[in-house]
Amino acid sequence: MNSCADSLIGDEGQIEEDIFLNYQTKTELELPFENEWYVVWGGKSIQQNQHFNNRFERYALDILQIVNGASFTGDGTQNKDYYCFGKRLNAPGDGKVIAIENNIEDNTPGVLNKAGGNYIIIDHLNGEVSVMAHLKKGSIIVAVGDTVVKGQEVGKAGNSGNSTEPHLHYHLTTSDSPDGIGLPPQFINYYEDDVFVEQGEPVRGQKVRKN
């Protein structure tokens, strides 16, 4: 993990910041879920986004569902208590599946497992790669090498890996390798707090939905 100072220092860092902070997404992306979700972390500052100091995940989103201000019902001690657990997740854009993990157990809520969880990585074949993480064990219904289209179901939200409660982690990057650089994802045709957005970047505190 790189700190912001490590990532954006000197001429090379300044060029990187200028390019990627103002980057325009090439892939036609749509929100990778159904119904309304809440952005816990997202945006272009450390105040909005806990991922910002990580060069690979700098503009990542952590998203879940809330009802009446809470992400779960009951006492929240089981994954099934959480509104987003097991909910459908879709390919955010057209591309090819280049990596998956589907066999990691989901965590008990509140218990952090720093090991890798279940994920899908989609190469959009234009220098952009989508990463979807923390998926439910056994829920991924695509395989490495599959071609996917925007909106196609690929798996279900879970609580695997470095996660304390069910949610979706999504980020766009230049590569699935450790050398990849996080890109700010711009999504098309969605509602942000009930206001239609033709193209935009969800940020912390917003409620977003496709329709």
Q: What is the pLDDT of residue 17?
A: 66
d(CA 199, CA 29): 9
The tens place of each residue's pLDDT in the chain, 211 residues long, gives 222 333 433 344 555 667 778 899 999 999 999 999 999 999 999 999 999 888 889 999 999 999 999 999 999 999 999 999 999 999 999 999 999 999 999 999 998 777 779 999 999 999 999 999 999 999 999 999 999 999 999 999 999 999 999 999 999 999 988 789 999 999 999 999 999 999 999 999 999 999 8
Looking at residue 15, its pLDDT comes to 59
pLDDT for position 16: 65
Q: DSSP label at 97?
A: E
Specify the long-range contacts of residues 119-122, CB closer than 8 Å, at least 24 apart.
Answer: 119/161, 120/154, 120/155, 121/97, 121/176, 122/91, 122/92, 122/93, 122/95, 122/96, 122/97, 122/98, 122/148
Please give the pLDDT value at position 12: 46
Q: What integer pLDDT is reported at residue 47 of this predicted model?
A: 94
Let me know how long the chain is: 211
Residue linked to tokens 């289209």 = 149
Give all strands (DSSP E) within the chain, no chain letters: 37-41, 61-64, 88-90, 95-101, 118-123, 129-135, 147-148, 153-156, 168-173, 182-183, 187-192, 195-200, 207-209
Q: How high is the pLDDT of residue 113?
A: 78
Query: Domains in the chain, start-ordered, CATH in brackets?
Result: 14-210 (2.70.70.10)
- DSSP letter, residue 80: G
Q: What are phi and psi of 155, to 5 degrees?
A: 175, -165
